[in-house]
Chains A and B, each alone.
Chain A
Amino acid sequence: MRVPSAAGPVRWWPIPGRGGFWAVTRYADVAAVLADHTRFTSTGGVMLNMLGRAEPARDQQFAASDPPRHGLVRGPLQRRMTARAVRRHEDAIRAHVRGTLAPLADEFDLAEVTAGLPAAFLGPLMGIPPADWPALRRLVAMSVAEDDPDVTLPAGPEATLERGHRELFAYLLGLLLEHRRHPRGDLVDLLAALPLRPGAVVANCYSLLLGGGAALPHVPTATVAELLRSGRYADWAARPDRLGGAVEEALRYTSPAGHFMRLATRDTTVGGVPVAAGDAVVVWLGAANRDEAVFTDPHRLDPLRHPNRHLAFGDGRHYCLGAAMARLTLRVFFEELFARYPVLHLAGDVERVRSAWLGGVKRMPVAGRPR
């Protein structure tokens, strides 16, 4: 019998009808769990909304596999996603960002602008037409923020999650068929050529789409929200030379991917607390990224922070496949935003997303005169 404890860095959270999970918030414990796939498996699903359910994609989708199976899919994808490999997309991403910023009036919703960012690379990487993104983006939101009133269906969060997931699968299956007819040499073609059943190909496309589409837009939005709140936007905008470190700090500070789940494969301990075989262990990346034992003055957004070994992309074998693409996209976005708007003001209330997984801003009216 586990005793729920209100305090402590590793504590048990019961969830009625679905057991519960160990919440892990210290940097060292989070990193230890993510590094050890033999004690903490990804095959039971990696998000809390999978708690207590069988993961149909286990051992088939890279996100829901452990080594060595994990490497069979992850390896080939990884070679296409290195910093060097993604750099060739920089011009296309910059053109997309400029195209998004150019038509804006003096007042606009920054969250709406950043929500379009994934379209910049989902085209080159997966052959997804930019025109499809507005509809897909809603389905992605239904799949990771099913509790948010903007997307929750009248039938409730569970039905929202299922509907979003099914529609995304249907879309991606169509995308796979389209690639079979007209190969593009992108990641979908790469997955289709691996020895995987069609369902597994689609499940991996689903991982790519959610990985690229769900969290990234919230990094710049939540960062700018804090810069405007603390009156430091103009300072950041005036120093594009600091953007390398600033992007890392933005990732640490915002940590939009809030948690990852693992299941303990054996009786073990986390941070000295006993955890039983089969227990769900959920690591909270945002909390770890504000751990005072690792980051001085952790609640301060400091572009000069060094070192900054944050966990916003996770850690271990499942470290974000798209990290290099995300860094490139964020740098280009900040460069273009700061070049166009040296000064920006809040023009309304900042509204945050309601989700157990996604931390971010969904509406943020701002005003500024383009240069």
Chain B
Amino acid sequence: MRTRAELESAISQLWSEKLAVHPVGLYDNFFALGGDSLLAADLLMDIYERLGVEVDAGVLFLKPTIAELVDDVLAAE
């Protein structure tokens, strides 16, 4: 099980790669930073495959911040 800080850092790194934006704030909105639905789907699959963490797609598409994603992952664990 990972700590909140580890998850935040790992997810924000994947997020930066997708959007070519650095740094990404915990409360930045994925779509406001230039993300689109296709990139969001790619990101979710990356998180799944590279971190072994399954993020709820509804959270990513409707509450698209790193803080919300990490909350969701920790709640699921």
**Chain B residue contacts of A203, Cβ below 8 A:** 37-38, 41
**Chain A residue contacts of B54, Cβ below 8 A:** 177
A164 to chain B, nearest CB (A): 11
A170 touches B60 (CB 8 A): yes
Tell me, yes or no, whether A169 is within 8 Å of chain B by CB: yes
Which residues between 148 and 169 of chain A lie within 8 Å of chain B, taking CB atoms? 163, 165-167, 169
* Given the contacts A177-B48, A198-B45, A60 and B38 also touching, CB distance less than 8 Å: yes
B41 touches A202 (CB 8 A): yes
Rounded to whole angstroms, the CA-CA distance of A39 and B41 in the bound complex is 32
Tell me, yes or no, whether A350 is within 8 Å of chain B by CB: no
B62 touches A173 (CB 8 A): no
A173 touches B38 (CB 8 A): no
B41 touches A169 (CB 8 A): yes
Report the interface size for chain A: residues with CB under 8 A from the other chain: 20
* Given the contacts A166-B61, A167-B62, A173 and B36 also touching, CB distance less than 8 Å: no
- In the complex, per-residue mask of B47-69: 1 if CB is within 8 Å of any chain A CB, else 0: 01000001001101110000000
Rounded to whole angstroms, the CA-CA distance of A329 and B19 in the bound complex is 43
A330 to chain B, nearest CB (A): 31
Rounded to whole angstroms, the CA-CA distance of A305 and B22 in the bound complex is 63
B44 touches A56 (CB 8 A): no
Which residues between 172 and 204 of chain A lie within 8 Å of chain B, taking CB atoms? 173-174, 177, 197-203
**Chain A residue contacts of B45, Cβ below 8 A:** 198
Residue of chain B at shortest CB distance from A162: B31
Interface SS, A side: helix
Rounded to whole angstroms, the CA-CA distance of A300 and B25 in the bound complex is 61
Report the interface size for chain B: residues with CB under 8 A from the other chain: 16
B33 to chain A, nearest CB (A): 14
A159 to chain B, nearest CB (A): 12
A56 touches B38 (CB 8 A): yes
B41 touches A173 (CB 8 A): yes
Rounded to whole angstroms, the CA-CA distance of A165 and B41 in the bound complex is 13
Interface SS, B side: helix
Residue of chain B at shortest CB distance from A202: B41
Residue of chain B at shortest CB distance from A200: B38
A170 touches B61 (CB 8 A): yes
A199 touches B37 (CB 8 A): yes
Tell me, yes or no, whether A57 is within 8 Å of chain B by CB: yes
- In the complex, per-residue mask of A104-143: 1 if CB is within 8 Å of any chain B CB, else 0: 0000000000000000000000000000000000000000
Tell me, yes or no, whether B24 is within 8 Å of chain A by CB: no
Tell me, yes or no, whether A171 is within 8 Å of chain B by CB: yes
Residue of chain A at shortest CB distance from B48: A177
Rounded to whole angstroms, the CA-CA distance of A142 and B30 in the bound complex is 22
Residue of chain A at shortest CB distance from B55: A173
**Chain B residue contacts of A167, Cβ below 8 A:** 58, 61-62
Please list the residues of chain B having a beta carbon within 8 angstroms of any beta carbon in chain A.
36-42, 44-45, 48, 54, 57-58, 60-62
Please list the residues of chain A having a beta carbon within 8 angstroms of any beta carbon in chain B.
56-57, 60, 163, 165-167, 169-171, 173-174, 177, 197-203
A-B contact pairs, 10 of them (CB 8 A): A56-B36, A165-B37, A167-B62, A169-B37, A170-B60, A170-B61, A198-B42, A199-B41, A203-B37, A203-B41
| Further 13 A-B residue pairs, CB within 8 A, beyond A56-B38, A167-B61 | A57-B38, A166-B62, A169-B37, A169-B41, A169-B61, A170-B57, A170-B62, A173-B61, A174-B57, A177-B48, A177-B54, A198-B44, A199-B37
